[in-house]
Amino acid sequence: MDVKFIADSMLGKLARWLRLMGFDTLYYPSIPDEELLKIARQEERIILTKDTELTRRNKDNNLIHITSSDPYEQIKTVIKTFNLNPWENLFTRCVHCNKPVEKVDDAERIKEKVPFYAYSNHFPFYRCCGCGRIYWEGSHHEKIKMRIKSFLEGKDEV
């Protein structure tokens, strides 16, 4: 599934979660409506917005008008609307710059960039091919998975 999104500046948390789940999601903390509409059109991205004015102005893009202020409700809406699989590409994209991450084969080379506990536990490491940020599979991955499970099942946080 290669659905791509562009989120408006009010939807930072939603954008972050979508990236965590591996979905290509552009997000700018501040962007004029015109510019956002232009990028959506050029890159065939689906607009996610809380803005009624933008929703009204949009003519030729696919757009989802997000009404809930709760980030988890917002994610649920997007997942359900596009029937997305949140597990398939989990942790394959940089949450900061939206670029894909790649596995680091030679952990020795990134030793200086990661905490000692992560390095000494031989966690698998991933590097963002955009900003170079290093990710690793630690306990936070389990927490994120639990969180996704809980909001998808509509339960309170576990």
Is 45 in contact with 5 (CB distance < 8 Å)? yes
User: What CA–CA distances, in Å, run from 18 to 12, 23, 39, 110?
Assistant: 10, 5, 18, 27
Verify binding: residue 3, Zn ion, rule CB under 5 A: no
Number of residues that bind Zn ion (CB under 5 A): 7
Supply the minimum distance, in Å, between the C-beta of residue 92 and Zn ion.
12
User: Scanning residues 71 to 100, which ones bind Zn ion (CB under 5 A)?
Assistant: 94, 96-97
Supply the minimum distance, in Å, between the C-beta of residue 99 and Zn ion.
5
Is 119 in contact with 109 (CB distance < 8 Å)? no
Verify binding: residue 130, Zn ion, rule CB under 5 A: yes
Verify binding: residue 12, Zn ion, rule CB under 5 A: no
3-state secondary structure of 3: coil
Supply the minimum distance, in Å, between the C-beta of residue 25 and Zn ion.
13
Nearer to Zn ion, 32 or 132 (CB): 132
Locate all alpha helices (DSSP H) within 58-101, ordered by sequence. 71-82
Among positions 128, 135, 136, 148, the unique one binding Zn ion when judged by CB under 5 A: 128
Using CB atoms within 10 Å of the CB of residue 121, give its burial: 0 to 12 exposed, 13 to 18 middle, 19+ buried. Answer: exposed
Residues lying near Zn ion in the complex (CB under 5 A) are found at 94, 96-97, 128, 130-131, 133
